[in-house]
Amino acid sequence: MTASSAAKLAVLLRTLKLPSFKAQYDEVARLADRESWTFPQYLMHLAEGEIEDRRQRRIERLLRQSGLPKDKTLATLDQSRLPGKIRRQLATLCEGDFVQRAENVLAFGLPGRGKTHCVSAIGHELVQRGYEVLFQPAFAIVQRLLIAKRELSLEKELRRLDRFAVVILDDIGYVQQDREEMEVLFTLLAERYERRSVVITSNLVFSQWDKIFKDAMTTAAAIDRVVHHSAILELTGESYRSEQAKKRNSDGAKASKPAKAAKSPAD
């Protein structure tokens, strides 16, 4: 191929938005020549490369917009600390079928039990499968909705959130300030009910959700919406942070303990 033909091909591939074709066609052509590929085989190889490249770029974009903690993945989760039932639930949830059914996931447990890590790991796995996920502390979502409400654009903001197949509300128990916060949070849950998935972490069991939703009727309605079609993860055991602190203290004590003097030959 002449230099002018190569330049023209590069322009055509760029116009067609085929960056992987543009980057690889020459190298793949040499490979095809060595391996005696047919033209359809050569084209198939380029097409597969383009599709994989697009998939990777999409995943990178989804991860950037998700807000998921980068270090809280399935690979970094110590599953040996989880009960067998939770491990089985986790494996199933990471497949993403619950998203197709617009079901919810609720993770309960005292602070430090790994709730955030578990739901973040699920979020990362869903992104790898092409789902749009948003992870935010519950108070941040509530503040976002409050601002939209005050600017008379709450409906527009809810539509923006609706593009996410999964919204992860971390630490919902800390949303317990005033009625306005309760109202926008309830509106979000009601809007997504049976349409889009919500994943919630909380250190408050359902009997304590009146601290969030203020009155018995609204509390019951909120619980009804999130529990219907949901998987519940109950994380128990000792706090990760407590265990790590004990380990650090133990290691520090060992390091500071004076070593025994070695006996001399005369002894």
Residues 19, 93 within the same domain: no
DSSP-derived pairing of the beta strands 166-170 and 230-234: unpaired
Tens of pLDDT, residue by residue over 75-110, are 999 988 888 899 999 999 999 999 999 999 999 998
Tens of pLDDT, residue by residue over 198-214, are 999 999 888 888 888 87
Average pLDDT, rounded, for the chain: 85
Tens of pLDDT, residue by residue over 219-262, are 899 999 999 889 999 988 665 555 555 555 555 555 555 555 44
Residues 42, 128 within the same domain: no
- The CB density around residue 262, as the number of other CB atoms within 10 Å, is 6
Give the residue, 119 or 209, on which the prediction is more confident: 119
Could you tell me the CATH number of the domain that includes residue 82?
3.40.50.300
Residues 127, 181 within the same domain: yes
* Out of 52-56, 58-62, 67-71, 168-172, least confident range: 52-56
Residues 98, 182 within the same domain: yes
What confidence score (pLDDT) does residue 236 get?
Answer: 82
Tens of pLDDT, residue by residue over 41-60, are 888 888 888 888 889 999 99
Residues 45, 151 within the same domain: no
For residue 266, name the pLDDT band (cuts at 50, 70, 90).
Answer: very low
The answer to whether position 151 is within a domain reads yes
Domain of 138 in residue numbering reads as 67-239
Residues 83, 166 within the same domain: yes
Residues 41, 29 within the same domain: yes
Residues 99, 55 within the same domain: no
Residues 52, 77 within the same domain: no
The answer to whether position 265 is within a domain reads no
Residues 152, 105 within the same domain: yes
The answer to whether position 246 is within a domain reads no
pTM, 2 dp: 0.79
The answer to whether position 100 is within a domain reads yes
